[in-house]
Chain A
């Protein structure tokens, strides 16, 4: 979804997205049931979930990871991401 922004920051400047460890994922779909934004898709052939739309992930939301019974989902460091957002907000041109 090109052109989307988070607090005025282009979404593609914020590298926040989930990563799934395919060795751990058992394809239960708990992450898909939790995420309201269609970030995940089931790879039926592999029997595992994959990240399909990483930029649909709401910035600094990692709620899905808590519902994964395998702890297979990881995210970038939340505090570092918050610091990055702070820097980007300072750099953003004022209207």
Chain B
């Protein structure tokens, strides 16, 4: 089911991941909150979505009818590492439900621009699809 609704779910990889040392997660979260107020359903940060507590978190909050944008490690790594969380939430990891974003080796602004493109892309694509 295609939807315009979006949510952003960060995995900050413990906050100490060597590939994310250039990211100020709190500044990024605040910027996302300010920029996308009213455009997304919610935003959340979790330090480790790939661990059992992160997977329980996903199983509790993910639901049908929302595209989940996940800024985290590289997209192909997310495919493996977030698999169990999506599975426990019974949400398929397909383009109608999931849009991964790699934060690996990026800085705060670069990640923000990727998120912005993703949010606007989802809006644009869905609106185009409706017309």
Contact = CB atoms under 8 A, between A and B. Distances in A.
Interface of A: 1, 4-7, 11, 33-38, 56, 58-61, 63, 67
B45 interface: no
Query: What's the dominant secondary structure at chain A's contact region?
Result: loop
A58 B48 CA distance: 10
Contacts of A67: 80
Contacts of A4: 16, 18, 21
A6 to B, nearest CB: 4
Given A61-B48, A61-B50, A61-B51, A36 B16 contact: no
Contacts of A34: 77, 80-81
Interface residues of B, number: 18
B14 to A, nearest CB: 5
B91 interface: no
Interface in B34-74: 48, 50-51, 73-74
A60 to B, nearest CB: 8
B19 A36 contact: yes
